[in-house]
A = this chain, B = another copy of it.
């Protein structure tokens, strides 16, 4: 049973009224993963965004050095945070692998559901897109700061 109070508190649903949330809730699918399981894999095609309801996940991205492939953990996300939203905005293969760090309960919203919201509730759709954009913005801000920091460490003193 999805608690609308939980949804109301989190960035993905910011500004969306309780009656609009009641329309969205039946579209959300609950999916469970056990600690260590891969939820999405870098490079695969995906059409769902996920909101973490319980648990914690890590975002892992591959990188190459000297011809060898490394797996770099670039972030850890917990309850109320989302992942997979980029592919709903800009359909491209998954940019990273996401793995459950503990037993994790997710709420999933598909591209098709989002399209249904677009058709039936344009204002709610616009709010959702604004919220998703804001989440992506915050992530980019954080990544820009970390990147500047990393460049700074990579430079000769």
- A residues with CB within 8 A of B: 61-66, 70, 72, 74, 86, 89-90, 92, 95-96, 122-123, 125-126, 129-130, 132-134, 136-141, 143-155, 157
Known: A134-B90, A137-B90, A155-B70. A61 touches B129 (CB 8 A): no
In the complex, the answer to whether B144 meets A74 with C-beta atoms within 8 Å is: yes
User: Roughly how many angstroms separate A150 CA and B61 CA in the complex, as a whole number?
Assistant: 12
Main secondary structure of the interface of A (DSSP, over half): helix
User: Roughly how many angstroms separate A138 CA and B146 CA in the complex, as a whole number?
Assistant: 17
Known: A89-B130, A95-B144, A133-B136. A153 touches B151 (CB 8 A): no
Number of copies: 2
User: Roughly how many angstroms separate A155 CA and B73 CA in the complex, as a whole number?
Assistant: 12
The 23 sampled A-B contact pairs (Cβ below 8 Å) are A61-B144, A62-B148, A65-B152, A66-B157, A70-B152, A70-B155, A72-B148, A72-B151, A72-B152, A74-B144, A74-B147, A74-B148, A89-B130, A89-B134, A90-B137, A92-B141, A96-B144, A122-B126, A125-B126, A140-B143, A143-B143, A143-B147, A146-B147
